[in-house]
Structure 1
Amino acid sequence: MDIRRAVTATELTAAESLFDGPAHPEWSERFLAAQGHLMLIAYVDGVPAGMVSGVEMTHPDKGTEMCLYELSVDEGYRRRGIGRALTLALADEAKARGCYGMWVGVDTDNEAALATYDSAAAVDEGTFTMRGWPLTP
């Protein structure tokens, strides 16, 4: 397995089977150009097998932390440690960038995700709820 940072929209398009939908070229370019955005892709025999995206968040009284925005492993590659390796690679990158911590929001019934994060030494910080604002008509 080889984990590499995505730097082109072409890489994201080639890995779009790992996303919830198709990679839009303009959104891909915007993501890659944004300071603090990061996409790591795991390749097995040259094939995109998993991805993790992270977004740095800075607050005046807290400093910078990394949000693990999304993690995905292709169904055919699951249970091989790819999710754990991607999570740890993102944590390493967060440390290298000077982040004081990393966090992820995960559904409490998502057993596969919880097991992955636990195996990567995540600490359970308790239950929280999430509210959203759909902004598209």
Structure 2
Amino acid sequence: MTRWTVVQVTDPAELVAASHLFDFAVTPEGAADTLGRPGHVVLLARAADGRDVGFVSGVEMRHPDKDAELFLYELGVDEGSRRQGVATALLAALRGVALARGCRGMWTGTEADNTAALATYRAAGAQIDDGSVFVVWEDLTEG
């Protein structure tokens, strides 16, 4: 029996209430902006008692010479709910969203030493590309 359900967030207040799952507090303005942007999706894993125990966010992307794909922006599971299939359920639900939107692929990035994330992604059917490098501009307002 599943102890949670995965729901797509449409109300910014739901994200604010789930702030404990994110790196920083979710503001009403940030939640509304995210949910209002075309192609953005946030899913929550909600326990039977109403607690939010995990989330995944994604952004649909398209390039003129490629099929649509979904970028898995971030995945997080409450510490007390890890290793119980929450992340797997969230990834499966995000895959369903991607397919419903006509995406042919889904991708993400993580640190090379994040063994838990890599194992989770592999278990969900992802192939790990050890040769990729992410280039990051941390603060475009500087320099």
TM-score by length of 1: 0.96
User: Structure 1: which 5+ runs fail to align?
Assistant: none
* d(CA) in 2 for partners of 1:127, 1:71: 22
Bigger drift between 123-132 and 99-108 goes to: 123-132
1:88 offset after TM fit, Å? 1.1
Bigger drift between 14-23 and 117-126 goes to: 117-126
From 70, 84, 90, the equivalent of 1:86 is 90
1:100 offset after TM fit, Å? 1.0
- Deviations along 1:47-104, whole A, 9 cap, x unmatched? 0000000000111110210000000000000000100110111011101110010001
Counting aligned pairs with the same residue, the percent is: 47
From 24, 28, 47, the equivalent of 1:21 is 24
Q: Does 1:9 align with 2:12?
A: yes
Alignment root-mean-square deviation, CA? 1.0
1:18 offset after TM fit, Å? 0.6
Taking the TM superposition and a 5 Å limit, the aligned residue runs for 1:55-134 are 55-133=59-137, 134=139
Taking the TM superposition and a 5 Å limit, the aligned residue runs for 1:41-60 are 41-45=44-48, 46-60=50-64
Cα pair 2:118 2:128 within 8 Å, conserved? no
1:19 offset after TM fit, Å? 0.5
Q: SS of the counterpart of 1:63?
A: coil
Q: SS of the counterpart of 2:68?
A: strand
> Aligned residues, how many?
137
Q: SS of the counterpart of 1:59?
A: coil
Q: After TM superposition, what 4+ stretches of structure 1 lie above 3 angstroms from structure 2?
A: none
